[in-house]
Amino acid sequence: MLLTQNRVFIITCLRCILYCASIPLLANTVVAKDSSLDFENDIVAIFTKAGCNAGECHGAAIGRGGFKLSLYGGNPAADFEAIVNKLQGRRINLSKPEQSLLLLKPTEYVSHEGGAIFDMNSESARRIKQWISQGAKRVTQRKLVSIVVRPARIYTEQLGTTHQISVNANYSDGSTRNVSDWAVLEPEDNSAVESNNTTGSLTVLRRGRHIVTVRYLTIVRPIEIMVPLNSESNTEVPPVYNYIDTEINKTLQTLRIKHSAQATDGEFIRRISLHLTGRLPSAKYAKEFISSSDEEKRSKAIDTLLGSEEFNIYWSHVFSELLRIRPQALGPEGASSYFDWLSDRIRANANYKQIVTELLLSTGDAFEHGPANYYRTITDPRRQAEFTSELLMGTRLRCANCHNHPLDHWTQNDYHGLAAIFAQLDISQSVKINLDGTTIHPVTLEPAIAKIPAGKAIQTGATDPRKEFAQWLTADNNPYFAKAIVNRLWKQMMGRGLVEPVDDFRSTNPATHPLLMDALAQEFVTTNYNIKGLLKTIALSSAYQRSSAANESNKYDNKFYSHTLRTPLQPAVHADATSDVLQVAEQYGEQPLGTRAIELLNPVTQSRTLDILGRCGREDSCETGNNASSGLTKTLHFFNGGFLNSRISHTQGRLLELMQKDIPSLDIIIEYYLAAYSRFPTTEEVRFWTTQLKEQPDANQRQEFLEDFIWGLLTSKDFTTNH
């Protein structure tokens, strides 16, 4: 029932779903040097400013009311055609410019579904009138190259302050113009920042860090706004263990968020074991670690865990979810050859760049040669382009299927150009190059030209067009490749990506700590794309080693690392941790007893436990959720289902083993604390359990009490989360 994730909540590009209209290509732009208004720079900007070419109006893929404009003016040629030539040219009246439909509609002199957009006396109307009276020509003096937004960052201590934004455009001819009046300010959160697009200003309404997107024609830039959360400055600065902390502490100081104390040894060892191996430290190991007086014990523990076989098993699982390895798509033979190759790479701590290069360039029989399955996971070239961009570049190229990306620089040529590379593959049980393979570009209706995203076309006659793409993607200076994986590794360790969502890198979605993002990527590249190395750097930071215990002033912080984020155990890790504490394995489908949930290659392996806790179906990305049951359903199952009840008093379980050894009840409780929480109970906790135990005089009552204690322990928040 819960297995198929037929519609995972992924923010897809909504407008893509509507049909992509085909847009005729037009003759090249005329470049003129006179003073007449410039269609691309002066007229299209009016439509962007007024929202006429937004997705909800004429910018929709099917247009609106029979009038279609390209989204945010991404295709001025098509816009010119729509305005001047379509509808028998009725939108333009050259003899009586003020009678043009292009003016009468937005001023609502004739009825307009969108209402009155601007006034007949406005600058917008005046410009349109002037342009028409100049002959409504498609002349352009210059090409827009970039925009400069000032200020790019705003820091204010007061709410209610208003900030004027200036936008300058740089053109191909070297000229610069102030285009503030024609730029649009779009706050990510309207309740945090209010924009006034008439005056071009922003008013700050809420404390914290906010992002506003500035759009001028097709170019978008972010403004970052910081407002301290508290009035008093932090007197204390968190410790600095490495460069990560320098950046983290800077933001905490700016926003005046008080940090929590550093984690205790118990907290640390539980957290790092879960992060690096997907399992809890054993009670024995936790006890030894806590009592050790070795000053280097934390870094030694990190090394031990990174070098363990458990690390290899867990990270093979993590990467097989990212790569969506599943027998349903690949066949059991394909899935296992893929997985075997992957675990071998993880075990060797292979250079990530080499792993990806091997994936991208693989050919041959996928049942024999694991990485060739990359192209069998998703076989449609367009979907492969989307999957590749999200996984390896951390960007959503998919928005550029039907129109240029509205919040980034990606064009339809980029999208279909990447798809055209993958179209040159024949995919069956084996993957072969077929240079005759094509995919149709929806605008030209011709085979799309294979090209590097935001780069040049690939020479026809290349023996393998993927080579050039792989070289570009994995180059040390590629702006996406290292950051995309570094951000995912960071999220695994810290509970949140520096960029969220992790597959949505774009200039308008900047990292919470941009310099840190750069520095981590830099380290990753210079250390030969060393996954373990980067995990270690993160684990050694004081930010990572902070306690999760929040104070009153930082308890709502969920992205500045003032305390460690408490995150629910991933479903498979939760299931395995439960089995480990109880010392009783769980049965998964037909798998041999003792198979761990993180070792399941088939994501729909029969298991009521995973139905309840959640699972990743691997048909789509699972980075936004795992389909867990609601809290009430889960709690009812904890109470009455077999997940805990069938194993707490299992004859081979931990409880009966300890009881048979006549261990005193309080010691049994301590043992469970170590197994589940990786720490000793506090004095108050010991006092509490001692009192409770006194009320259970006979052995039978004591056993029942201990069963209930274990049930409570495994249901408690400190067990079901990593913290």
Partner 1 sequence: MSLFTNNKTQYRLPRRDSIVLGGLSAFGLGMSDLFAARRSGDTNTAKHCILIWLDGGPSHLEMFDPKPNAPIEVRGPLESIATSIPGIRVNECLTGTAGIMNEIALIRSVTSPLGEHNFGTHYLLTGHKPTPALEYPAICSTVAQLTGQTGVLPPNIAIPRFSNTISGNGFLPPATQPFAVGGNPQRLDFKVRDLNYYRGLNLTRVDRRKTLVNAFDQFTATRDAGVDGLDPDLERAFNLLTSDDAKSAFNLSEESEDLRNRYGMGDSIGQSCLLARRLIQRGVPFVTVNSDGWDTHSNINALKRRYATDRNAKLPSFDRAFSALITDLKERGMLDDTLVVVMGEFGRTPKINANAGRDHWPRVFSIAMAGGSVPGGQVYGSSNLLGEFPHDNPVTPSDIAATVYTLLGIDPTHELHTNDGRPVRITPDTAKVINTLIG
Q: Name the residues that contact partner 1, by CB under 8 A.
A: 1, 5-12, 14, 16-19, 55-56, 60, 188-192, 206, 548-552, 555-556, 563, 566, 627, 629-642, 645-646, 682, 684-685, 688, 704-705, 708-709, 711-713, 715-718, 723
Q: Measured in whole angstroms, how far is the alpha carbon of residue 555 from the centre of its chain?
A: 23
Nearer Cβ to partner 1 (141/578): 578
Reduce the DSSP state of residue 364 to 3 states and report it: strand
CB of 630 to partner 1, least distance (A): 5
Is residue 342 within 8 A of residue 320, CB to CB? The reply is yes
CA angle 140/144/145 to nearest 5° reads 145
Nearer Cβ to partner 1 (6/651): 6
CB of 345 to partner 1, least distance (A): 34
| Amino acid sitting at position 191 | S
> Containing H/E element for 309?
helix 309-322
Nearer Cβ to partner 1 (40/611): 611
Nearer Cβ to partner 1 (229/425): 229
- Tell me the C-alpha distance between 248 and 232, whole Å: 19
Nearer Cβ to partner 1 (191/233): 191
| Amino acid sitting at position 37 | L
Minimal CA–CA distance to 388: which of 404, 370, 375, 401?
Answer: 375
Report the relative pairing of strands 139-140 and 30-31 from DSSP bridges.
parallel
Nearer Cβ to partner 1 (18/540): 18
Helix axes 665-677, 571-582, angle to 10 degrees: 160
Minimal CA–CA distance to 399: which of 1, 14, 5, 4?
Answer: 14
CB of 221 to partner 1, least distance (A): 18
DSSP letters spanning 559-609 = SS-SSPPPEEPPHHHHHHHHHHHHT-----TTSPTT--GGG-SSTT---HH
Is residue 556 within 8 A of residue 574, CB to CB? The reply is no
Nearer Cβ to partner 1 (500/657): 500
CB of 74 to partner 1, least distance (A): 18
Q: How big is the chain by its Cα radius of gyration, in Å? A: 30
CB of 13 to partner 1, least distance (A): 8
Nearer Cβ to partner 1 (56/344): 56
- Tell me the C-alpha distance between 445 and 281, whole Å: 59
Cross-strand pairs, 225? 154, 210
Tokens describing residue 412? 């339809």
CB of 638 to partner 1, least distance (A): 8
Report the relative pairing of strands 153-155 and 219-227 from DSSP bridges.
parallel
* Residues in Cβ contact with 95 at an 8 Å cutoff, skipping those fewer than 6 apart: none
CB of 645 to partner 1, least distance (A): 4
Nearer Cβ to partner 1 (41/395): 395
Reduce the DSSP state of residue 367 to 3 states and report it: coil
CB of 658 to partner 1, least distance (A): 18
- Tell me the C-alpha distance between 137 and 175, whole Å: 22
DSSP letters spanning 610-664 = HHHH----SSS--TT---PPPHHHHHHHHHHSHHHHTTTT-TTSHHHHHHHTT--
CB of 631 to partner 1, least distance (A): 4
- Tell me the C-alpha distance between 78 and 403, whole Å: 12
CB of 705 to partner 1, least distance (A): 8
Tokens describing residue 296? 């280097």
CB of 507 to partner 1, least distance (A): 15
Tokens describing residue 714? 């495994």
Nearer Cβ to partner 1 (41/578): 578
Residues in the chain: 723
CB of 608 to partner 1, least distance (A): 9
Nearer Cβ to partner 1 (318/549): 549
Nearer Cβ to partner 1 (293/630): 630
Is residue 370 within 8 A of residue 460, CB to CB? The reply is no
CB of 552 to partner 1, least distance (A): 5
Nearer Cβ to partner 1 (640/690): 640
